């Protein structure tokens, strides 16, 4: 039986800079290890947005088109994982010169 909390390791595998000019800044691939099981998530989206009148950078799940042609998230992360994942991805983008600290 699993404990209520398990160690999680997140590692950035690759940062792919997007072409200049759009909202998309980069696609990022990560490796996530939970309870010793590793899986890879490719194509986390790092985008430029305006929230409450302020420029912001967001990290969202990879997307795919459903049968009706609508864009949908390919994976949904629990909030406990999404926040640290976003921080790690944004730090990698800062290191690669794609974004900067606010």
Rounded mean pLDDT, 36-65? 92
Q: What is the pLDDT of residues 56-97, one digit of tens each?
A: 899 999 999 999 999 999 999 998 899 999 999 999 999 999
What distance in Å separates the CA atoms of residue 93 and residue 16, rounded to the nearest whole number?
Answer: 9
Phi, psi at residue 33, to the nearest 5°? -115, 120
- Asked whether 28 and 89 are in contact (CB, 8 A), the reply is yes
Rounded mean pLDDT, 38-53? 93
> Is pLDDT at 47 greater than 90 in this prediction?
yes
Per-residue pLDDT, 22: 87
* Sequence ranges of the domains in the chain: 8-62+70-95
Output the pTM of the full model: 0.86
> Is pLDDT at 1 greater than 80 in this prediction?
no
């Amino acid at each position: 039986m699993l404990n209520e909390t398990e160690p999680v390791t997140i590692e950035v595998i690759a940062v792919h800079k997007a072409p200049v000019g759009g909202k998309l800044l980069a696609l990022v691939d990560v490796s996530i290890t939970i309870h010793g099981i590793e899986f890879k998530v490719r194509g986390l989206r790092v985008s430029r947005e305006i929230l409450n009148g302020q420029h912001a950078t967001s990290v969202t799940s990879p997307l795919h088109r459903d049968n009706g042609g609508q864009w949908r998230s390919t994976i949904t992360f629990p909030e406990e994982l999404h926040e640290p994942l976003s921080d790690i991805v944004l730090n990698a983008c800062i290191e690669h010169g794609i974004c900067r600290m606010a």
